[in-house]
Amino acid sequence: MLVLIALLCFFLLPAIHLVRWSVQAIQHRREQQLHQPSLHLRVSRVRRQRRYLQLTLVAADGQKLPPARAGQHIQLFGTDAAGQPVSRAYSLAQDCRHSHFYRLVIKAETGGRLSSQLFDTVQAGDLLQSSQPKGHFVLTRSRRPLVLVAAGVGITPMLAMALQGLRQRRPVTLVYQARTEADLLFQRWLSRLAHLRFIPVLSQPDASWSGETGHINAGRLLQLCGYQGDYYCCAAAQMTAQLKQDLALAGKTLQAELFAAAASQQELSIRYRDIQASAAGFSSVLDALNSAGACIPSDCRGGSCGLCKKRLIQGEVIQMLDPAAPLHSGEVLTCCIQAKTALVLAD
């Protein structure tokens, strides 16, 4: 009996303490992530080209900026044309070893509350507020071939990932879908990047284009890049979902990030407390409810912070993004879903 008690004291109690300590450490880290102070940034350079706005941002106090991992984004906080607070996530379009600036490429979306406002008004010298760099769409260390798939402005996180992959001495292929040659961002830089296999694919090329044409699909990707690599994609919701599904059928996992989800066309009702919203015209349930006055807190708008979590009482949803934040049965992240039927949500 004494031996048993001694064994318990020796092994079980330290093990319990270790588990408790680990849980506390995880909770502490999560709280830290949620409450990291925002950054004060100064716009040091502005470039406008067609509907794209390129911003170079430095720390307002002239210090170094917090480091970022290849593929991460920052959340910009601003106001829309009506003066309402709004925030959006933008990938860092740069070599993430640079710690003196962040570079963003923002597409001015028609009706975009922050992107259009920034495109129309931002000037060098303006001050902006952002989150720290964050996001789970990051490159893991490996020697396996790396296949990056981008569409449109989804090229932005791929710049850092391509550079990081090349530094890891991996064979890197970047397949880039755009409408016309003029829509290929960073084309000259990418086509000159040593050791990068760069494959632009145009859906509406002009007569002088001699490269790949049409649309990227899973079969074509596997034909071009093979079965051996790690696949990453940043594109609009529909293309990402299709690629993910088709590559999964071929036994491949696709790590994906959405740069935009198409707005819902459905006139479906969404009810939360005494707020009644319509899904039509919004790319997430979160946006639909907030614009109807719900004031649901949000931060990442990408499924990682968990702030926008609600309980789904009634109805079916379309999962636009895979949630990274932990969820209990019946819970949803409103930034990651659109309505499939009329919805009722609660706290």
Q: Which residue from 65, 82, 72, 69 is spatially nearest to 128, judged by alpha carbons?
A: 65
Rounded to the nearest 10 degrees, the angle between the axes of helix 237-249 and helix 218-225 is: 60
Give 170 or 301: the residue with its C-beta nearer to ligand FES.
301
Instruction: Between 112 and 135, name the residue whose CB sits nearer to ligand FES.
Output: 135
Distance CA 131, CA 198 (A): 32
Give contact residues for ligand FES (rule: CB under 6 A). 298-301, 303-308, 325, 333, 335
Q: How far is the CB of 81 from ligand FES (least distance, A)?
A: 22
Q: How far is the CB of 277 from ligand FES (least distance, A)?
A: 16
Nearer to ligand FES, 161 or 332 (CB): 332
Least distance (Å) between residue 93 CB and ligand FES:
22
User: Closest approach of Cβ 229 to ligand FES, in Å?
Assistant: 29
Helix (H, G, I), strand (E, B) or coil at 40: strand
Compute φ and ψ for 238, nearest 5 degrees: -65, -45
For residue 77, the minimal CB distance to ligand FES (Å) is 13
How many angstroms separate the most distant Cα atoms in the chain?
A: 88
**Between 78 and 165, whose beta carbon lies closer to ligand FES?**
78
Contacts of residue 121, defined as CB under 8 A and 6 or more positions apart, other chains included, come to none
Q: How far apart are CA 223 and CA 173, in angstroms?
A: 13
- Of 53 and 337, which has the nearer Cβ to ligand FES? 337
